[in-house]
Copies of this chain bind each other. A is one copy, B any other.
Amino acid sequence: MFRRIHHLGYAVRDAAAAAEFYRLRFGAAPGEPEPVEEQGIVAVMFPVGESRIELVQPTRPDSPVGKFLDKRGEGFHHVAFEVEDLDAALAELDSAGLDLIDRRPRVGAGGLRMAFIHPHDAFGVLTELVESGEHKE
């Protein structure tokens, strides 16, 4: 079902500083900061092979990522796997009794349809499924 790691999200206090670190030390090519108002974040991404690293900085302390930083500090936040058919995937997982944060897809960064699975049903890993149009006709 998983076609690739679409992206790996890091929670950071300062996305510009983190982007500069990866540019300077590892030759990464970060894009422009992208605000996602609904989630209270600004994201900076850079490609690594067929995947991306997403540096996620909260724009409000009460946003989910803001609360995450307060509780856990900087570090891994979520992983996103690309699936071909998000509706079918969610229906299957829902019928298997998994705790889905989003039982229906919503629209995330880059305008892609995505949904989160609760980490307590995925061995502590906040897992996103994303339906990317990139590989489709």
- Which A residues lie at the B interface, using CB under 8 A? 1-5, 8, 10-12, 18, 21, 25-28, 48-51, 55, 73-76, 79, 81-82, 92-93, 96, 98, 119, 122-125
Please tell me which one of the listed residues B4, B8, B73, B74 contacts residue A49 in the complex, with CB atoms under 8 A apart.
Answer: B4
Q: CA A8 – CA B6 in complex, angstroms?
A: 13
Please tell me which one of the listed residues B11, B93, B124 contacts residue A25 in the complex, with CB atoms under 8 A apart.
Answer: B93
Q: In the bound complex, do residue A8 and residue B10 qualify as a contact, i.e. CB atoms below 8 Å apart?
A: no
Please tell me which one of the listed residues B26, B51, B55 contacts residue A5 in the complex, with CB atoms under 8 A apart.
Answer: B51
Closest-CB distance, A123 to chain B (whole angstroms): 5
Please tell me which one of the listed residues B2, B49, B81, B92 contacts residue A2 in the complex, with CB atoms under 8 A apart.
Answer: B49
Q: In the bound complex, do residue B10 and residue A49 qualify as a contact, i.e. CB atoms below 8 Å apart?
A: no
Q: Which residues of B contact A4 (CB under 8 A)?
A: 48-51
Q: In the bound complex, do residue A18 and residue B51 qualify as a contact, i.e. CB atoms below 8 Å apart?
A: no
Q: In the bound complex, do residue B21 and residue A2 qualify as a contact, i.e. CB atoms below 8 Å apart?
A: no
Closest-CB distance, A79 to chain B (whole angstroms): 6
Q: A1-B27, A2-B49, A75-B119 are in contact. List 10 more A-B contacts (CB 8 A).
A: A2-B26, A4-B49, A21-B123, A25-B93, A25-B96, A49-B82, A73-B124, A74-B125, A76-B79, A76-B125
Q: In the bound complex, do residue B48 and residue A81 qualify as a contact, i.e. CB atoms below 8 Å apart?
A: yes
CB nearest to A83 among chain B residues: B26
